[in-house]
């Protein structure tokens, strides 16, 4: 937010940019925790680079990042449980919303995540 204020933006656009930066840093941290849950340092490195990248690149679409995080949780099964009906419904709604707004690739990714969820063995059965 301070960077945006110094560059001449008003208080509301700067606050919005600060919220977007905070959300993107959190989502980068969450992605790294999902991919490598045993190594905490990787999450903080991802969060740091996300914060730096927010300065130089345009703001990411937070709904797509949220959808990708949910898809990663389904495929990775980091909670140890298969996806519940509510999880699947939320992913269907979010991917449908993004499809409606022109993000057809996210519907394909959601379909692939559901296929992988159906065919991958459970972690408890694999152990």
Residues 20-70: tens digit of each pLDDT: 888 889 999 988 888 888 888 888 999 999 888 888 887 778 888 888 888
Residue among 7, 118, 114 nearest 55 (CA): 7
User: What was the pLDDT predicted at 17?
Assistant: 81
> What would the two tokens of residue 121 be?
């063995």
User: What was the pLDDT predicted at 81?
Assistant: 66
User: What was the pLDDT predicted at 95?
Assistant: 92
> Is pLDDT at 98 greater than 80 in this prediction?
yes
Higher pLDDT, 18 or 122: 18
User: What was the pLDDT predicted at 123?
Assistant: 61
Confidence class of residue 121 from pLDDT cuts 50, 70 and 90?
confident
Question: 39-64: b or e for each residue (b if 16 or more CB lie within 10 Å)?
Answer: eeebbeebbeebeeebeeeeebeeeb
Answer for the pair 28, 47: CB distance below 8 angstroms, yes or no: yes
Residue 83: what are its φ and ψ, rounded to 5°? -65, 135
């Amino acid at each position: 937010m301070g960077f945006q204020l110094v560059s001449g933006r008003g208080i509301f656009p700067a606050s919005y940019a600060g919220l977007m930066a905070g959300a993107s840093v959190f989502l980068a941290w969450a992605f790294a925790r999902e991919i490598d849950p045993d190594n905490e340092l990787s999450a903080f490195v991802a969060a740091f680079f996300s914060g730096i990248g927010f300065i130089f690149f345009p703001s990411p679409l937070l709904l797509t990042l949220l959808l990708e995080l949910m898809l990663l949780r389904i495929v990775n099964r980091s909670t140890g449980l298969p996806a519940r009906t509510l999880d699947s419904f939320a992913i269907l709604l979010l991917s449908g919303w993004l499809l409606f707004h022109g993000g057809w690739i996210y519907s394909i990714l959601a379909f692939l995540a559901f296929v992988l969820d159906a065919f991958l063995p459970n972690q408890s059965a694999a152990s």
